[in-house]
Chain A
């Protein structure tokens, strides 16, 4: 069964860091690029970052460049998002999604940035 399961969310103080993970099963992880998309409470979807299938290329939305880092471990079928210098504007549900076209999504993990 194809699954994407995010973890690592929680409440974090402004300026601190958090690392999200997405565990994948049911397909050959190393064959696909992977993305992170976020959704602030009551708001629309915002594409955050993408990593190519071999990890050689990364792309980010401007608002997270220099603060967030996407990575993957193809031996462990896991995607990560390292988030540094978090601000209130980063409060959102973070989804991992498969491939350039986001054909499969996880259920998301909630990140709340608050003092």
Chain B
């Protein structure tokens, strides 16, 4: 199975400051169809996960533009340019190129 490794696992951030989460895969996520199926999800406390980003860098509808995704191959990043209080939660990357689909361990974002 493809192993997804996130870092850091805990990320204390000051309100208004940027945050960055890394996600590395044990195999390339470039699919034979030319797309890279790397997703980012946010899980706020007590809530279901919500997708933020698909295909590395495409923001889902309603996702604030302070969130951005980047990367290629095996190395990916989720950035929040200015953290707001509502961004507290756990962020997961997931690969959708190989079977079975696999998630990263999660990165807990909290306010300092």
Q: Which residues of A contact B (CB under 8 A)?
A: 35, 37, 44-47, 50, 59-62, 95, 100-108
A45 with B37, Cβ < 8 A, contacts A95-B48, A105-B48 known:
no
Interface pairs (16), CB distance under 8 Å: A44-B90, A44-B92, A45-B103, A46-B103, A47-B94, A47-B102, A47-B103, A59-B99, A59-B100, A60-B100, A95-B48, A95-B49, A101-B96, A102-B41, A105-B51, A108-B48
A-B contact count (CB 8 A): 53
User: Size of chain B's interface in residues, with CB distance under 8 A?
Assistant: 23
Q: Which residues of B contact A (CB under 8 A)?
A: 1, 37, 39, 41, 43, 48-51, 54, 60, 90, 92, 94, 96, 99-106
Nearest-CB distance from A38 to chain B (Å)?
11
Complex Cα gap A104–B51 (Å): 7
Nearest-CB distance from B29 to chain A (Å)?
13
